[in-house]
Structure 1
Amino acid sequence: MAPSTSTDAPFGRMLTAMVTPFLPDGGVDYDGAARLATHLVDERRHDGLVVNGTTGESPTTSDDEKSTLLRAVIEAVGDRAVIVAGAGTNHTEHTLKLARQAEAAGAHGLLVVTPYYNKPPQEGLLRHFTAVADATGLPNMLYDIPGRAGVPIQNDTLMKLAEHPRIIAVKDAKGDLFGASRVMAETDLVWYSGDDVLNLPWLSVGAAGFVSVVGHVVGTELHEMIDAYRAGEHGRALEIHRRLLPVVTAIMTRTQGAIAVKAALNLLGLPGGGPLRAPLVEATAEFAVHLREDLTIGGVKVPEATIPEVAR
């Protein structure tokens, strides 16, 4: 059973799309994933986690690895955090398989990305998302990210999809605040910021919370931003937003997200900071130097022992 959540935030408010830790030999580090999940939930105020998302390098993990990873995270924190399984692919039948596999593993919900690369028309998106929602009893969060998928989920399509009882939320990395405001006003869909650079603006138009990447290192601060905004302390929320700008800049704008996050976890001495799977590559020493500087400016304490030699 999923942890208790409110109807206006069915997946919780502060979630992070978690990286997938790997061992030096290339295998998935399931113990490391459990430790990282525990840290995020118990130490960084996460209401939920997305497992097997793009930041979790889902394009390069097998179906069996996805299932085992999901079970490891659920066993570690599933009694006190909402665990959302990334199930989206650009092949509808494969997506249905992953959705059913996630339900069998005990996931509390599904994150379903727009089919990428093959650029389906809106009718294709409508049929795809409906088929996935029909395949399980789990609530679905659609992931609208045209920068990677190649096509947006248009607002009229979202309104049609909102009629499905299990399509209940959107992770937005499209950035159309006005269009989303229209959809939120006319449907019951719940919005989550899927782009850390717009977290605070999304709250201002009615988003319930975040599905973050920088939450790996500043989850507590992001939760404080949400709490402050919801309490009417908008000046406090703005102060947190501005203080975290260097962290967001470092992790979200200078290289691929999983690369940057694993480098940050490495600097902080936290689980998950190990290797990446090709075609992704580890961060350069030069990037790590700038990352440390930006994290420090943003108020993140980097242990001296983890600072690369080139930065000393």
Structure 2
Amino acid sequence: MSIFSGIWIPLITPFQAGAIDHRALAALVGRYREAGVAGFAALGTTGEPAAMSDEEQDAAIATILRAAEGLPVIVGVPGNQTVAVRERVLRVGELPINGVMITAPYYIRPSQAGIVDYFSTMAEASAKPIVIYDIPYRTGVRMELETLLTLAAHPRIQAIKDCAGSLETTLALILDGRLKVLTGNDDAMFASMCMGGAGAIAATAHLRTERFVEMHRALARGDLEQGRTIYHELAPLLRALVSEPNPAPVKAALAAEGRIANELRSPMTRASDALTRELAALLAA
């Protein structure tokens, strides 16, 4: 049975006085583990890896793996230099992780044939399963359905974090059945799971985690009424958490709960004062 289902947390990286707060990171992982999440995505965009050195990234992975206590962990490996990304895939593949999450090469905007070649190269190099991270508004290139279906034929490419914003493509991938579809657009998770999607890699699930887990379980067993009730309950918080650039709202909310310092690395900035007040009110309700 595939591990790529349920609610996964794309972990933020807590900072304190400019350094990674490993104690806070481990505490977050422990909390989400107890809440029943299916796994963790380390060093996705929510984790601010672009603002971290390789040494800091490795240290964060080590902390997450220790705190996860056997729950699946996948690691983000973005980039646009094929040789460098392949080397990183090989390196993280030596760790006791459960998969590698890879975006299309950003900024370059390769052809669809180039995308197929790129992911095929990574899949051949990787000792661990590949999760395609399809997020065209960050990479600048859209992965067409035909491209995704071609890549689905590779045995090591097993899932997709679907952030493309196309219900038509999402449904086609679900019906095809070879890739487990985990939505990454949090406001689309309910629709995706109702169509048969496997779950979500959801930044918003850093908050009210148990309810996100309960929603997925309800929908997975076909209890649409309960799933919808939970989604409606979560909707105001979810909307607020995606209203400004990620991960600033999530960090503001976690800081309001006293779990982390409200600190990001430049060029990211903290959530606005108005949103911070709104989040505090929603969490107190």
Q: What TM-score bracket applies, with the shorter chain setting the length?
A: over 0.9
| Partner of residue 263, structure 2 | 275
Amino acid at match of 1:13: G
Q: Is the 8 A contact 2:16 2:261 kept in 1?
A: no
One of 259, 266, 271 as aligned partner of 2:248: 259
Deviations 1:147-206, CA, capped at 9 Å, x for gaps: 111111110001110111100001101121222222332351110011110111001221
1:56 aligned onto 2:44 = no
| Partner of residue 32, structure 1 | 24
Deviations 1:105-144, CA, capped at 9 Å, x for gaps: 3211111112222211111111111111111210111011
Alignment map for 1:161-176 (pairs within 5 Å): 161-176=151-166
| Partner of residue 121, structure 1 | 111
| Partner of residue 211, structure 1 | 201
1:110 aligned onto 2:100 = yes
SS of structure 2 residue aligned to 1:169: strand
Deviates more, 1:49-58 or 1:146-155: 146-155
| Partner of residue 229, structure 1 | 219
| Partner of residue 284, structure 1 | 272
SS of structure 1 residue aligned to 2:120: helix
Could you tell me how far apart the structure 1 residues matched to 2:123 and 2:15 are? 31
Q: Is the 8 A contact 2:193 2:199 kept in 1?
A: yes
Deviates more, 1:225-234 or 1:178-187: 178-187
Deviates more, 1:93-102 or 1:237-246: 93-102
SS of structure 2 residue aligned to 1:105: coil
TM-score, normalization: structure 2? 0.95
Give the gaps of 5 or more residues in structure 2: none
One of 67, 84, 98 as aligned partner of 1:76: 67
SS of structure 2 residue aligned to 1:104: coil
Deviations 1:233-274, CA, capped at 9 Å, x for gaps: 101111111111111111112x1111111100001111x444
1:245 aligned onto 2:235 = yes
SS of structure 2 residue aligned to 1:137: coil
Q: 1:289 to 1:168 in 2, by over 3 A?
A: same
Deviations 1:40-76, CA, capped at 9 Å, x for gaps: 112x221101111100001111112111111111011
Amino acid at match of 2:95: A
Q: CA deviation at 1:104?
A: 2.0
| Partner of residue 220, structure 1 | 210
Could you tell me how far apart the structure 2 residues matched to 1:140 and 1:116 are? 18
TM-score, normalization: structure 1? 0.87
| Partner of residue 305, structure 1 | none
1:87 aligned onto 2:77 = yes
Q: CA deviation at 1:31?
A: 2.4
Could you tell me how far apart the structure 2 residues matched to 1:231 and 1:244 are? 20
Q: 1:182 to 1:12 in 2, by over 3 A?
A: closer
SS of structure 1 residue aligned to 2:101: strand
Q: 1:209 to 1:107 in 2, by over 3 A?
A: same
Aligned residues: 285
SS of structure 2 residue aligned to 1:143: strand
Tell me the percent identity.
28
SS of structure 1 residue aligned to 2:247: helix
Could you tell me how far apart the structure 1 residues matched to 2:43 and 2:247 are? 12
